[in-house]
Structure 1
Amino acid sequence: MAERRDDLSKPRTTTDLPRRDFLRLSLGGAALLAGCGDDEIGDSASAGTSGSTGETTGGSGGASTSNGTSETSGGASESAGSTTGDGTSTGDPSTSGSSGDTSTTAVDTATSGTTTEGDTTTGDELCAGEVIAFDPEAIPLDDETFPLAVMAGEMKPTSIMVTVFIADGAPKTLRIWRKSQEDGFVELIHEAPMIPTPEGYAKLAVEGLCPGTWYYYGFFAGDPDAFTGRSIIGEVRTAIADDALETLTIAMTACNGSSLDWPALEVTADEYYDVFIHLGDMAYNDGAETLEEYRASWKKYLSVAGFKLAYARAGLYATWDDHEIDDNSNFDRETMDPQELQRRQNAMDAYFELVPIDAEGPSYRLWRSFRWGMTAEIIVLDCRYERRPSQKLYISALQMMFLKDRLLNSPCHFKIVMNSVPITNMPLPWDIAANDRWEGYPGQRKEVMDFITQNDITNVWFLSGDFHV
C-alpha cells in the first residue's frame, strides 16, 4: 500500500510510483487483451446481435476504481459506506452520446495508463516546454488564499479547463509544467494570469497541450519572479490521441452526503487513475436559496481534504443529481414560479462557476462527451434538469438525439454513460420511487434499450449514482 499522503501542500511523490507502476505493468496488458480481444475495435456493430451492457453504481461518498475484471475498489466510507461497482450486467443495453468532442473510457478494463507521468503518446520532442529554474514545492502553501480544491476538467487531446477559488479576489498566476531531469528545474508548458470575478472565481481553458500527457498545474500568488504562496499542486492527463488504444483507469464516486471528511476519497487519492468521475450529489445544498447560500455550501464541501486530494490527482468529468439544487422532493422541474426559477438559477450559477465544465449561462447545457482514443467514449448525461414529467420525458428530445448519435457512431470500444440515477429496473426492496429514475419513464427507457439492441451496439456501460449502497 502506498503511504497515505496527508500533507496537502505536496504533489505526488516518488513514494507513490512503485505501487502505481506495479498496477500499470501487471494489469495493463491483461486487461487490454481481455477487454478488446473479443470483437473488432471501433466496429460497434460487429460483435454480435445483442448489446453488451453493464451498470456500475456509486454512492455514499466512497470512491471506486474500475479494473480489468469488472471489479471496483476503494476505501470504505466512514459516513455511509463505500461505493459499489461489481460490473455485473443489468440485462439492459446502454448507450452513450457526445457533443463535439467525444471521450472514451474502459470501465471493465482497469489498469493504470500505459504511459508514465510526464511521458506522452506523441513523443517528448513534440511536447517539450521551456526549462526554467522553478521549485513549486519550495513555495509555501497558502490555504487562506486558495482554501478549496483545485480542479481540471474538459480533458481533450490538446486542451483542458482549470478552475480555482481565490479568496482575496486578486489576480494570480497559473503555471502548467512537466518535471525536468534536473532538481530545481521544470519544463514550463504554459503560464497565464488567472483573473477572478469580484467574488473570487476563476476559470480558464488551456489549449496547445499534447495528447495522453500528464501535466502538473498550480496557482501562485505574488510576482512570477518571486512567488509568495501557492495552491495545492494538481495533476491532469490530457485525453489520448484519437487513433490511440490504451487502457484507462477511472475513479468514481457519488452522493457524498453531509457527514463530510469521506476518508475513502483520501484512500483513493493514493491509487493510480487517469480520470476522476463524479456522478452527482457532490454537495448537499438542500435548503439554500440565494446565490450566497449556495456558494457557502460549496465552500464547505470543497474545503474537505478528501476532495482536495482526489481532485488534485487527475482531471474531473462531472454530472449532477438533485442535491446540487435541492432534494428531489422539494423541487418542481416544470414550475413557473419566479422565486423557484431564481433559486434554480442561483444553484446553477454556483455550480458552473466552480466546476470545470465549459458551459455558458443562463441555460448551462451539461450533456456532452469526450473521447479517449479508440478505447472509450465518456458520455455525460443530464438526467435531472431536462425532465418534463407532464410530457413523460426523462431527458429532452435533443439530448436523446445526442445520446443515440454517440452510441451509434462512436468508434470506441467502450461507450461509458455517466448517468446520475440507475437505469436498472430495481428489484424489491429497492423498487421504490420509480419516478425518480429511468424506470418511471418507461417509454424513453425502452427507446434507449431498443436502439442499442436493434443496432447491435456492444460494450455500453452505465455508471450511476444516487442509490446509497
Structure 2
Amino acid sequence: MLRAGLTASAVLAVPGTVLTGLAGAASAAPAAPPGNPFTLGVASGEPAPDGMVLWTRLATDPLAEDGLGGMGGRNTEVEWELATDEGFRKIVRRGVETTGPELGHSVHVELAGLTAGREYFYRFRAGKELSPAGRTRTAPPASAMQPLSMCFTSCSQYEHGFFTAYARLAEEEPDLVLHLGDYQYEYTAGDYVAPGGNPRNHVGPETETLGNYRQRYAQYKTDPDLQAAHAVAPWLVVFDDHEVDNNWADEVPEHPETPQPNFLARREAALRAYWENMPLRRAQRPKGIDMRLYRTVSWGRMANFHMLDTRQYRGDQPCDDKFNSDCTARTDPARSLPGSAQEKWIADEFRRSQARWDVLGQQVFFSQVDFTPGAGRGFNPDAWDGYPGSRDRVVDSWTASKARNLLVLTGDVHAHWAADIKQRFDDPAAPVIGSELVSSSVTSGGDGSETRADTASTLADNPHIRFYNNRRGYVRTKFTPTEVTADFRVVPFVQRPGAPVENRGTFVVQDRKPGLQQA
C-alpha cells in the first residue's frame, strides 16, 4: 500500500527533472487560502500506453454551501510531480496547473510521452500544503498481452452506509478500477432511506444547481475509503442516473408529468460537476448539456474497454417506467438505449477490434430478466429489457464482427448477478454469445442479504442467470490470454464501519468458449 508521511519539503527538490506547463518558480504561485486544500484526495484515470490523467480538487471547506469548497473566486497555481518510486526520489515529470472557480477548483493533468506498462506515483502541492500520494500506471504497449487485475463496482449512496467496500477494493491493489455509475446520489437527507435506516446524512438540498452538485461531490470525496480506492489505481468511469436525476432519459426528467422547467439547466450543471470531479480527459469536458462520455480505452491487446453512455441518448422508458411491467411500446424495434450514433460506434469498435477480450463497461442490466413468476412476464423498462430491439442490434453487430470474446460489465441493480448472454433470449435454442457480470453496490440498499424472497423464482424463470447475491461489494477480475476469472466480493454489513471482505462466488470465462463456468 502507499506509504503515508511524505513531507512537503521534498516537493520540487529533485534536480534534473522535466518542468512542463509553467514559466516561473513555485515561490511565485498565489498563496492558497489557510487550511489544507487537499481534503478531497487525489485520483488518476484514462490510462494510455504513454500517459494518463492526474486529478485533484482544492477545498479547504469541502461542505461550503456555494460548492466552491472555501476557495472562493481566486485562482490557484497547483504544482504536481510524477515519479517512478513511492519516495519521489526519481521524478520524471513536474509542472504547474492553474485552477479556479470556472473549474470548480479542480485540476486535470493530461500526461503523454511516458513509458508504457509501468507504475508511477504522483502528488500535488498548493502553497506549502502537500497532497496525499497516489499510485497510477500506464497501459501496456498496444501489441502486448499483459495480464490485468481489475475491480469494478457501482452505486455508492453516502447515506446508506459506510464505504468499506471501497477500502477493501483498495486493499486488492488492482491495476485498474471501473466505476459504472451512481457515484453520488441527488437526494436531500432522508428522502431515500435504506432498510434499517441511514447511518449518515447528505448535506444540502436535492442537487439541482452547479453549487449543489459541487457540494455533494465534495461530501462524498471527503470519505477516506473512497479516497483510498481512487489513490490506489487509475479509474475508468461512466455515469448512470443519480449523477443527474433518478431514471432520467436524454432531455426527459424522472417525472415528465410534472414538468421541470429547469431540467436542461440541471443536466448541464450535473455533467459539468461530474467532469470537474472525475479523472477525465479534456475530450470529455461537457459543452452545455452534452458530454461525449462513450469511448474505448485499450489495455494492450488483452482487452478493449468500450465505456458506454446509456443515459444521454436513450428514448424515454416505456410502460410508464413501471418496474415488473410489459407493454407493446417496449418491443418497438425503433427505440434505442444508447442512441443510433452510439450503436453505430459500438459496431465499428467491434469490427476494428484486435483484442482478446472486448468489454462493454456500462450501467444497466444487459441480459433479459423476467421478474414475474410463472406464465406472466414483467421487466425493468429502465434496463436493456426496455429496449430489446436495441439490444438485438448490439448483439448482431457483435456476432457479425467475428471479434473474439464478449464480456459485459454492469452496475445499477444493487446486487451481484452473473449471466450468459444469448443471441436471442426468447429462443431456447439460441446460442450463448457472451457473458455478463453485474456488480453489487458499494452501499446502496443498506446491509442487504444473501438472497431475497423472490430469488428462487427469478432464477427458475431465467435459466441463463447463473448467480445472485444481495450483499454489498465489488467484483474482482483477472484477465489473461486464456481466461477471465471473476470473484464476487461482498462485505457483510455497511451500516457500521469495519466489515471484512468475503468471496461469494467465482466464475471463469474461457477464451473462445462463450458462457460462464463456476469455479
TM-score, L = length of structure 2: 0.59
Q: What is aligned with 1:248?
A: 148
Displacement of 1:130 after TM fit?
A: 4.5
Paired AA for residue 229 in structure 2: A
Highest RCO, 1 vs 2 (Cα 8 Å, sep ≥ 6): 1
Unaligned stretches of 5+ in structure 2?
8-14, 19-33, 60-70, 188-205, 318-333, 416-519
Q: In the alignment, is residue 229 of structure 1 matched against residue 132 of structure 2?
A: no
Alignment equivalent of 1:388, drawn from 315, 330, 344: 315
Q: CA offsets, 1:386-435, max 9 Å, x none?
A: 11238612112111111111112110100011011110101436986522
Higher helix proportion? 1
Please give the alpha-carbon distance, in whole angstroms, between the structure 2 residues aligned to 1:247 and 1:464.
21
Please give the alpha-carbon distance, in whole angstroms, between the structure 2 residues aligned to 1:310 and 1:432.
37
Paired AA for residue 223 in structure 2: V
Please give the alpha-carbon distance, in whole angstroms, between the structure 2 residues aligned to 1:418 and 1:296.
27
CA contact (8 A) 1:8 1:309 kept: no
Q: In the alignment, is residue 147 of structure 1 matched against residue 7 of structure 2?
A: no
Q: How does 1:81-120 map to 2 (within 5 A)?
A: none
Q: What is aligned with 1:16?
A: none
Q: What is aligned with 2:273?
A: 350
CA contact (8 A) 1:256 1:262 kept: yes
Q: What is aligned with 2:172?
A: 271
Higher strand proportion? 2
Displacement of 1:203 after TM fit?
A: 1.5
Q: CA offsets, 1:135-161, max 9 Å, x none?
A: xxxxxxx98311113111121111211
Q: CA offsets, 1:226-247, max 9 Å, x none?
A: xx32111101111100011111
Please give the alpha-carbon distance, in whole angstroms, between the structure 2 residues aligned to 1:303 and 1:433.
37
Please give the alpha-carbon distance, in whole angstroms, between the structure 1 residues aligned to 2:245 and 2:4.
31
Please give the alpha-carbon distance, in whole angstroms, between the structure 1 residues aligned to 2:249 and 2:49.
40
Paired AA for residue 268 in structure 1: L
**What RMSD in Å do the two structures reach over aligned CA positions?**
2.7
Please give the alpha-carbon distance, in whole angstroms, between the structure 1 residues aligned to 2:380 and 2:251.
16
Q: In the alignment, is residue 160 of structure 1 matched against residue 52 of structure 2?
A: yes
TM-score, L = length of structure 1: 0.66
Displacement of 1:327 after TM fit?
A: 1.3
Greater Cα radius of gyration, structure 1 or 2: 2
Q: In the alignment, is residue 413 of structure 1 matched against residue 305 of structure 2?
A: no
CA contact (8 A) 2:17 2:92 kept: no
Q: How does 1:44-443 map to 2 (within 5 A)?
A: 130=16, 144-167=36-59, 168=71, 170-179=76-85, 186-198=89-101, 199-222=104-127, 228-258=128-158, 259-286=160-187, 287-328=206-247, 333=252, 338-358=261-281, 359-362=284-287, 363-389=290-316, 392-428=335-371, 434-443=380-389
Q: Pick closer, same or farther for the CA change 1:9–1:449 going to 2, 3 Å.
A: farther
Moved more, 253-262 or 365-374: 253-262
Q: Pick closer, same or farther for the CA change 1:373–1:195 going to 2, 3 Å.
A: same
Q: CA offsets, 1:29-49, max 9 Å, x none?
A: xxxxxxxxxxxxxxxxxxxxx
Does the residue aligned with 1:342 lie in a helix, a strand or coil?
helix
Q: Pick closer, same or farther for the CA change 1:179–1:455 going to 2, 3 Å.
A: closer
Displacement of 1:200 after TM fit?
A: 1.5
How many residues align? The count is: 331
CA contact (8 A) 1:260 1:304 kept: no
Does the residue aligned with 2:342 lie in a helix, a strand or coil?
helix
CA contact (8 A) 1:8 1:308 kept: no
Q: Pick closer, same or farther for the CA change 1:279–1:232 going to 2, 3 Å.
A: same
Q: CA offsets, 1:270-317, max 9 Å, x none?
A: 113110100000001232111101111101111111110011000010
**Identical columns (%):** 27
Please give the alpha-carbon distance, in whole angstroms, between the structure 2 residues aligned to 1:316 and 1:143.
28
